[in-house]
Amino acid sequence: MGRKLKFVPTPSKPSTRYFMTEPSPEKPKRRVRYLGRNPRHFHEKYKEHQPDRYPDDVAKVIAGGKTPAGTHRPIMAAEILTMLEPRSGEVAVDCTLGYGGHARLLLAAVQPGGRLLGMDADPIELARTEARLRGLGFPPESLVVRRMNFAGLPRFLADESPAGADVLLADLGVSSMQIDDPDRGFSFKVAGPLDMRMNQAKGRPASVLLSGLSRPALARILAENADEPHALAMAGAILRAHSAGPIETTQGLAEVVRGEAERLGLSSDAAEDVVRRVFQAIRIEVNDEFGALTEFLRVLPACLKPGGRVAILTFHSGEDRRVKSAFKDGLRDGVYASIADDVVRASAAERRDNPRSSSAKLRYAVRA
């Protein structure tokens, strides 16, 4: 901003005089205002979005068993480190960087001399996470980040570590940043566009997906992606409403599902479970999550060095079935030297402190 002329009258003479003055600095923008004593909506929680500036306030949120807005709490971090045993000088891969909680631990564990290769399909969160990790002070060359789906892991390794990875983690859960941000359209708890794409620059949002589905096709998605017992009835109700509407918001879809659940005589708690399953199933279809996971499990053994360790964190039965089956087949065929005897769950203390860990299942395998 350049200098500007300011009119300054003088008492000695009635004539007009002009002097060069310095421009006044711009006023800082005011934070978003909200009703009541405490912020309720995602974008209003300015303290939670700035944990470095308001650490005490963020600590209170965490102590209350909640995840601060705009962040994510890594699940079963200690168990994952025990399984993977990352060591100095090794190459670790985090296939789903998210907020970077697991990545930070892996990056520290492979120092000195090791590298972390991180990937994520979400362009919004990836840039923030990379900046956060680079701010920790590790050597610049120890972190390599790429925006891509984990099904493309072989291409990443071909460029950065052709011999493969020593340690590999895939956390298949949707991050809290995505769930909590209404603009992403993942959650039915707040109003937002019916989107659900991990990368909003690619693919079709959920609202567009619904427009191209028949009742049998949507019922199949609900049954296969979320084991929804009322799949056919829900598919009919959703598509009838969408053809009359269309449904373009998350709460709009949730209300249609609740209305059909009431017609079926379900309790309010049972209705909320149906809403969760419907959202889960449509999100999986929008992002082709099962297709990506199937391809990832197919190429996974070739991406590990001999003796390489992999841990996969799943959050619903469809994912866990696929991981369990792939690991068992690999053990039978001699691809894996060992696999987890049983699924590992979050401790009672972690489930209490972080309720989003309750559905998590952890499995591991070691390359032969």
Say yes or no: 226 and 137 in one domain: no
Quote the pLDDT of residue 27.
59
pTM for the predicted model, two decimal places: 0.79
Say yes or no: 229 and 167 in one domain: no
- Using the CB atoms, write b or e for 162-177: b if 16+ within 10 Å: eebbbbbbbbbbbbbb
Query: When comparing pLDDT for 18 and 197, which is higher?
Result: 197
pLDDT per position as a tens digit, 288-336: 999 999 999 999 999 999 999 999 999 989 999 999 999 999 999 999 9
Say yes or no: 128 and 257 in one domain: no
Quote the pLDDT of residue 8.
47
Quote the pLDDT of residue 186.
77
Residue 124 clears pLDDT 80, i.e. is over it = yes
112 occurs within a structural domain: yes
246 occurs within a structural domain: yes
Say yes or no: 157 and 230 in one domain: no
pLDDT per position as a tens digit, 182-238: 777 778 887 899 999 988 888 999 999 999 999 999 999 999 999 999 999 999 999
Of 279, 310, 333, the one marking the end of a domain is 279
161 occurs within a structural domain: yes
CATH number at residue 109: 3.40.50.150
> How many CA atoms are closer than 13 Å to the CA of 315, on its beta-carbon side?
18
Angle at which helix 317-332 crosses helix 289-299, to 10 degrees, equals 20
Say yes or no: 168 and 298 in one domain: yes
- Burial class of residue 107 (count of CB atoms within 10 Å of its CB; 0-12, 13-18, 19+): buried
134 occurs within a structural domain: yes
Percent of the chain with pLDDT over 70: 79
Domain count, the chain: 2
182 occurs within a structural domain: no
pLDDT per position as a tens digit, 343-365: 999 999 999 988 889 999 999 99
Quote the pLDDT of residue 84.
98
Q: What share of the chain is helix, strand, coil (3-state, %, to 5)?
A: 45, 15, 40
pLDDT per position as a tens digit, 225-279: 999 999 999 999 999 999 998 999 999 999 999 999 999 999 999 999 999 999 9
Quote the pLDDT of residue 59.
54
34 occurs within a structural domain: no
Of 250, 279, 308, the one marking the end of a domain is 279
Of 257, 279, 301, the one marking the end of a domain is 279
Residue 116 and residue 60: Cα distance in Å, rounded? 32
146 occurs within a structural domain: yes
Say yes or no: 94 and 169 in one domain: yes
Quote the pLDDT of residue 15.
45
Find the range with the poorest average confidence among 70-74, 122-126, 169-173.
70-74
Say yes or no: 91 and 151 in one domain: yes
Q: Which stretch of DSSP H or E encloses residue 21?
A: strand 18-21
233 occurs within a structural domain: yes
Percent of the chain with pLDDT over 90: 69
Q: Are strands 91-94 and 165-171 parallel, antiparallel or unpaired?
A: parallel
Residue 193 and residue 40: Cα distance in Å, rounded? 19
Query: When comparing pLDDT for 288 and 3, which is higher?
Result: 288
* Residues spanned by the domain of 258: 200-279
Say yes or no: 229 and 363 in one domain: no
